[in-house]
Amino acid sequence: MELKSPPARARQTGAFAAGDALSMTATLKPLDPASVKEVRLDTTHKIIEIAPGVKFTGWTFGDQVPGPTIRARVGDKVRFKMTNRSDEPVPGVRVSTAPMMHSMDFHAAMVSPQDKYRSIAPGQTIEFEFTLNYPGIFMYHCGTPMILEHIASGMYGAVVVEPRAGFPTKADREYVIIQSEFYAKLDPGKRKVDSAPLYVLDGDRVRAAQPTHIVFNGVHNGMVRRPLPAKAGERVRLHVLNVGPSKTSSFHVVGTIFDRVWIEGNPSNQFRGMQTVLLGSSNSAIVEFVIPEDGSYIMVDHHFANASQGAIGLISTVVQADTTEIEHHNLQASATPTQPEAAQGKLNFESKCLACHTVGQGKKLGPDMVGVTKRRTEDWLTRWLKSPEKMLESDRDARAMLKEYNNLPMPNQNLSDAEIQRYIRYFKWADAQPAGSLSSSGAGH
């Protein structure tokens, strides 16, 4: 195997990602039959939206987070090119962080890291090639120090390597699920993007492993708003990768059992009938299961503190979508407040309250929250959210609401004062929107 790559050379222009082996969305494309995979993944700096209203200064491979997935087969050769374009303004978006050195580290490769994974300056290009020797799901990421910050800013993706003879089962649907963490804080310079506040990397949080968002495929609750489609009776194959950079994932799908689990994506490492798969940082697995009947099946990190920060998604039989463009499914975008406290209140509501409440979608187990700040005073809402069981002891309105909703009391969520204020800010924002707009925008979903 050749271990010396050509010297870094002049800038290249054009598409930020190119190659027939690339899948740009969660839907994994069929294997490209070519034995040599030509792959280009350029680095960019751009604003990404990691949660509704949270515009973050991301660093990318291929101009997206996660970077495109590379699909290949054992024995294939990957010819890789990368231009460091961190100094270029992305069309329509200004450069958000200073240009810097970047590199590429492929966990799927067996090469000299000093040679292949060296850092290149803005404007330079690096090229190297390697042969795939093992099947599996392998992480790729920027290897430039501090690696922690580069991964936490969005520089990661997956390489899916099939066994030479293909997988031993036939799947009807194949998706890639990449779990990762973001560590965001409001920009100290108070910059804004489209009138929304800008968020930047929180260095203290990233070093303390205290993420603000834990997500599937780069977006908080993204696959709740845009579920992955499937049909009853189909076999679904999920290629699951936890890129971290620091947290462990307990991947679980509610309502089914993993018929087959191949640890690290290698069929030689097979388990049967598993409920949950434990994945450390940069660990992976292929999980297969059959959709037993029509419904929506929840993908979740069973470390529920992680799920509450956004590591949740849906596979649904009721979604009608072009599966080649699943990330651009034609559901309308949910309206989002621009004020940070209200935006965080919306995220908290979507994580904790949607089982019982909506905003603009009608009653469920509990009341629709539209108009709540017009029906109740801020003091009443604060006391209710703080201790609903105490309110039920003495408050006439609270007892009447309990009776109306089948004597199902709201459990105490043990909210802090700051969290309560975020909920109230969100409810006030929702009640200030034009009548009917939240229902039509899907803000209660």
Radius of gyration of the chain (CA): 23
Q: pLDDT digit string (tens) for 227-247?
A: 999 999 999 999 999 999 999
- Indicate if the pLDDT at residue 10 is higher than 70: no
Q: pLDDT digit string (tens) for 211-228?
A: 999 999 999 988 988 999
**11 contact partners, CB below 8 Å, separation of at least 6:** 83, 85, 123, 124, 125
**pTM of the prediction?**
0.81
- State phi, psi for 408 to the nearest 5 degrees: -100, 100
Would you tell me how many other CB atoms lie within 10 Å of the CB of residue 144? 21
Average pLDDT, the chain: 89
Q: Of 202 and 329, which is predicted with more confidence?
A: 202
- Span 335-346, average pLDDT: 83
CA distance 359 to 371: 9
Q: pLDDT digit string (tens) for 172-184?
A: 999 999 999 999 9
If pLDDT is split at 50, 70 and 90, which confidence band does 441 have?
A: very low
Q: Please report the pLDDT score of residue 330 as a whole number.
A: 30
If pLDDT is split at 50, 70 and 90, which confidence band does 336 have?
A: confident
Eight-class DSSP state of 203: H
User: In whole angstroms, what separates CA 433 from the centre of its chain?
Assistant: 28
Would you tell me how many other CB atoms lie within 10 Å of the CB of residue 151? 25
CA distance 174 to 150: 28
Q: Which amino acid is at 223?
A: M
Q: pLDDT digit string (tens) for 75-123?
A: 999 999 999 999 987 655 565 688 999 999 999 999 999 889 999 999 9
Between 34-38, 334-338, 415-419, the lowest mean confidence (pLDDT) is in 334-338
Between 179-193, 331-345, 379-393, 399-413, the lowest mean confidence (pLDDT) is in 331-345
